[in-house]
Amino acid sequence: MSVVTDDYVDDGSITMGKALSNAFSPLFSNLKTALKFTILPILSWSIILVIGIVFGLSLFSEEASGNFSNFHTGFFIAILVFVLLSVLISIQFYTAWIQFLRYGDTSLKNTFIFNIKKCHFVILGKAILLNIIVVLIATIVNIPLGFLNLGSPGIITAVIQILLMLALAVVFLRLSYIFPAAAIDQRFGFIDSWNATRKNWLRIFVAFILLVLIMIVATIVIQLVLGLIFSIFGAVFSPIGLNANQLTSTSDISATLLSAGFLILVIPSYLISMAITLISYIPFINMHYYCFKTDVSLTNDQEILDRFS
């Protein structure tokens, strides 16, 4: 396995070729590490999912007994906890890969759910704040646009909304350098991010549009291949498959979830899908980090300390 680090001097310009190359080359060169980094997040999500299913079944039992207040309260709390843990697991995966790119750190503990660090909560807080900023901008802009669009043809309104979404995407990208900086435990504010992207923001935006299109095509191809494989397995194991008409009670649902047909069909597809989903994020992380270190001109650890201190 080769380890890709970024201790080289870039000329400070972002090009489409470099951006796309840096999106995929670290992944293909370190595919074993990428797969290893998916193990604990998938395991953590699986445990949360199992707990959620068991808890959900117990809540449905309470609903059947007429205890609706406990059902709604418990369901809300469960969803909130599930979302928070899922986001933290995603942030851990993101941070682990950034630190791998920066330092070559391949430690599996970086993706362990109980190894939550300060930087993970910093990224979470900044992500919430950034989304609030984008929503506020969208709201402020949409208020006058709403009056201007009164009586306008539908096509004009649609074009304006598309342009607004593109503008918001640019704003999000220009402010998003806070995330890789936080992943390497360095202070970097929204203003710093905005200033750093001043020269290359259009190239960054176009590069991400191209990457999105590439990943959409790749996703379609992968889904077609996996769909064919799973359909073959589904036909093979159909005698022990599921019968939705038999799900008339909580006990029936529990028995179905533990049945051989369900486990044989669902578990492999779930694990493969989750691994592919996580790995599909890596090209975006790679490109974003390449743009970040190019715009900020990071070449070595000492320069990071000097620049962010």
CA distances from 214 to 207, 228, 274 (A): 11, 22, 20
- pLDDT score recorded for residue 38: 94
- pLDDT score recorded for residue 50: 82
Residue type, 157: T
Q: Where does the pLDDT of residue 1 fall: very low under 50, low under 70, confident under 90, or very high at 90 and above?
A: very low
Residue type, 1: M
pLDDT at 191 exceeding the cut of 90: yes
Residue pLDDT, tens place only, 203-249: 999 999 999 999 999 999 988 888 787 777 655 555 444 454 544 44
Q: Where does the pLDDT of residue 114 fall: very low under 50, low under 70, confident under 90, or very high at 90 and above?
A: confident
Task: Say if pTM beats, i.e. exceeds, 0.85.
Answer: no
The b/e string for 86-102 (b: 16+ C-beta within 10 A; e otherwise) is eebbbbbbbbbbbbbbb
Residue type, 59: L
CA distance 254 to 115: 32
CA distance 303 to 197: 19
CA distance 50 to 299: 44
